[in-house]
Amino acid sequence: MIVLVVEDTPSKAAAITNSLQRAGVDDTDIHVVPDIGGAKRVLAAPDRVGLLILDIRIPNRFDGAPQVSGGLILLQWIERKEIQVGAVVGLSAYDPSSEDTTDLARYGVAFFKYQQGDMRWSDFLTAFAQRLRTLVNPAPVREADAAGPGKFGLPGLEQFNCDFSERESQRSSAPLGHAFIDLDDLKQLNQDLNHDRADIVIGQVAASLRELIASRGQLYHRSGDEFVVLLDNHTGRETALFMERCCAAIAARAFETLAPGRVTVSVGVACLGEVADNAEQVREAAIRANQRAKDAGKNRVELAE
């Protein structure tokens, strides 16, 4: 597999390479380039890049004057050229702007911030390596989870519980964001459409959530119209901000024959290491936060206290 690292700071490029080794990414051909020009040359070659890791604020020295969001310019170029790339990981020492964040979700970028509060650099590298491992070698979807009506091809509750427990046992000081999502007014939706068409809507919402979350985290089907998410290296606040964008995107879309705004979701968010150090307590906190979102008017996100 070809791995392309776009980073103009040698020490950070070396740290990323070290994380790849920690992640156990084998049989790789790693290319490290300092700018967009070098990245384009690698991407334009016949061999497909399986993993792209880039600094979102890399200077764009290829097309003229440096720009702080050169990484997004590269992603736009990849889209225009219809170049097929595997997983994409974006890095930055700064929070992206709201406009940049929309683009990151559009291109399916798993975003990581270099600095996470008081997190040590070694802890960041450990968390980053763990996320790389899941991107390059994703856990297989169990046949029982993928089969049957209403599963939408997503891993199910059993896989979620297994993955959450594994994250809990392996966790350093890196945060792990968790979100509990369900549709608003499902009973009314069933009455308006009938159960079969309402199930189609739930499937369309699942597909939209999967598109929005992309490689940034893992989406699971919990049951019925309920979904859960795990976001590595995300604080509670960061998870809530990301889910607010997902919530708004769902509300803006038209599902089945319904107008935009007719189908919405409510989301409860909790973070392992903030509200609790136990996965079960974090799950329960997210469910309670989801209920607060329902009580506060629906179509919103609430962060566990």
Would residue 64 be called left, alpha or beta, if left means φ above 0 and alpha means ψ between -120 and 50 degrees?
A: left
CATH value at residue 40: 3.40.50.2300
CA distances from 119 to 126, 172, 239 (A): 11, 10, 17
Q: Are residues 259 and 287 in the same domain?
A: yes
Q: Are residues 109 and 179 in the same domain?
A: no
SS3 237: helix
- Which helix (H) or strand (E) is 168 found in, with range? helix 157-170
**Stronger pLDDT, 128 or 76, i.e. the higher one:** 76
Residues recorded for the chain: 305
Q: How many domains does the chain have?
A: 2
**Stronger pLDDT, 169 or 132, i.e. the higher one:** 169
Return the pLDDT at 143: 41
Task: Name every residue whose Cβ is closer than 8 Å to that of residue 24 and which is 6 or more positions away in sequence.
Answer: 133, 137
Q: Are residues 154 and 284 in the same domain?
A: yes
Residue 26 tokens read as 């084998």
**Domain encompassing residue 121:** 2-136
Q: How far apart are CA 227 and CA 246, in angstroms?
A: 13
**pLDDT above 70 as % of the chain:** 73
Nearest to 230 by CA among 147, 165, 151: 165
Question: Average pLDDT, stretch 35-57?
Answer: 85
Q: Are residues 118 and 148 in the same domain?
A: no
Return the pLDDT at 264: 94
Choosing from 136, 154, 185, the residue where a domain stops is 136
Q: Are residues 241 and 287 in the same domain?
A: yes
Residue 231 and residue 178 in contact, taking contact as beta carbons nearer than 8 Å? yes
Q: Are residues 92 and 174 in the same domain?
A: no
**b/e 13-22 (16+ beta carbons within 10 angstroms → b):** bebbbebbee
Choosing from 102, 136, 170, the residue where a domain stops is 136
Question: Average pLDDT, stretch 222-231?
Answer: 93
Whether residue 36 is predicted with pLDDT greater than 50 in this model: the reply is yes
Question: Average pLDDT, stretch 243-255?
Answer: 89
Per-residue model confidence as pLDDT tens digits over 260-305: 889 999 999 999 989 888 899 999 999 999 999 999 999 999 999 8
Residue 111 tokens read as 């975003």
Rg (CA), the chain: 20
Q: Are residues 158 and 285 in the same domain?
A: yes
Whether residue 148 is predicted with pLDDT greater than 90 in this model: the reply is no
Return the pLDDT at 303: 95
Q: Are residues 228 and 182 in the same domain?
A: yes
pTM exceeds cut of 0.85? no
Choosing from 91, 113, 136, the residue where a domain stops is 136
Q: Are residues 265 and 284 in the same domain?
A: yes
Residue 56 tokens read as 């979102």
